[in-house]
Amino acid sequence: ADALPVALVTEGPIVVAHRGASGYAPENTLAAVDAAAETDTEWVETDVQRTADGVLVLMHDTTLARTTDVEEVFPERAPWNVGDFTAAEIARLDAGSWLGEEFAGEPVPTLADFADRLETHGQRLLLELKSPELYPGIEADVLAELEPLGWLDERRPGERLVVQSFGAASVRTVHELAPEVKTGFLGTPEVGDIADFAAFSDQINPRYTDLSAAYVAAIQAVEGPRGEPVEVHAWTVNDGPTAVAVAELGVDGIISNYPDVIARALEG
């Protein structure tokens, strides 16, 4: 059949694997990147923090307790804050067994290892600076780590990397340090404040339960730092019917632990 005229082609939202495809493998591990690749998901979200000796590692919680065996390996080190451990200590931990014995021995990845695995699969990175107030200067650290790996390539801004955070100051800092890097603010600003966030945010990414079609449209009506409409990527949607309903609100992206389930629902 002939291709539709461009104006009639409507694209649905992109799907982002949340903490990797974390419905299928331990969150924020290389196994979760592989699981995202197995579901043909290009975009992968993850959470970055910093060790006591300055290494960037991927962990959602600010403590290591829920998703590693740190309480057994270092019983005296409660409350097991990520930032109180060295990279060598964190490398001793098992970040897979909590989800299932088949994942035993899965390490906590460094950002460099995670980026390398994404590169292997040709995937893209939605990188959340998690609790950046605990890690002063992490914005520059992240950029310094990713730049030599080619993730900040000015020739194709925003093609492979978006840096997001609940911390607005942190998002603004990333934008100021590296304007070529796309950024996202995680949250639900008042409509009257959207333009302020759009000065340094290419995306505004709210919890999906906070959305209405009018609110999504209000965000997309504002231009971001590149002069393009600010995008809306909603989290965390884990079933097909909800994904269809959220897509109908007009969002640009849906972040999910089960990206294949969402993609199939949107296709259907």
Longest dimension (CA), the chain: 68
47 vs 139, which CB is nearer to ligand G3P?
Answer: 47
Which residue reads 């903490």 in tokens?
19
Q: Contacts with ligand G3P in 66-85 (CB under 6 A)?
A: none
186 binds ligand G3P (CB under 6 A): yes
49 vs 74, which CB is nearer to ligand G3P?
Answer: 49
Residue 123 has which token pair? 């995937």
Distance CA 268, CA 136 (A): 45
Report in angstroms how near the CB of residue 258 gets to Ca ion at its nearest: 16
Give strand pairing partners of 44: 17, 125
Binding partner selected for residue 174 from ligand G3P, Ca ion, none, CB under the kind-specific 5 to 8 Å limit: none
- Tell me which stretch binds Ca ion (CB under 5 A): 39-47, 93-101, 191-199, 220-228: 39-47
Asked if 233 is an active-site residue, the reply is no
182 binds ligand G3P (CB under 6 A): no
Query: Looking at beta carbons, which residue is closest to Ca ion?
Result: 128
Distance CA 26, CA 100 (A): 8
45 binds ligand G3P (CB under 6 A): yes
Catalytic pick among 60, 121, 175, 233: 60
Report in angstroms how near the CB of residue 1 gets to ligand G3P at its nearest: 37
Applying CB under 6 A, among 14, 15, 18, 263 the residue interacting with ligand G3P is 18
CA 159 to centroid of chain Cα atoms: 14
128 binds Ca ion (CB under 5 A): yes
Asked if 121 is an active-site residue, the reply is no
Q: Contacts with ligand G3P in 189-208 (CB under 6 A)?
A: 205
Distance CA 203, CA 231 (A): 5
Nearest Cα to 58, choosing from 116, 127, 104? 127
Distance CA 263, CA 122 (A): 18
DSSP class of residue 251 equals -
114 binds ligand G3P (CB under 6 A): no
Nearest Cα to 89, choosing from 77, 100, 98, 97? 77
32 binds ligand G3P (CB under 6 A): no
Query: Looking at beta carbons, which residue is closest to ligand G3P?
Result: 235
CA 198 to centroid of chain Cα atoms: 19
Determine if the peptide bond prior to 51 is cis (ω within 30°): no
Q: Contacts with ligand G3P in 119-158 (CB under 6 A)?
A: 128
- Judged by the rule CB under 5 A, the positions of this chain that interact with Ca ion are 47, 128
Residues designated catalytic? 18, 60
Residues lying near ligand G3P in the complex (CB under 6 A): 18, 45, 47, 60, 128, 186, 205, 235-236, 255
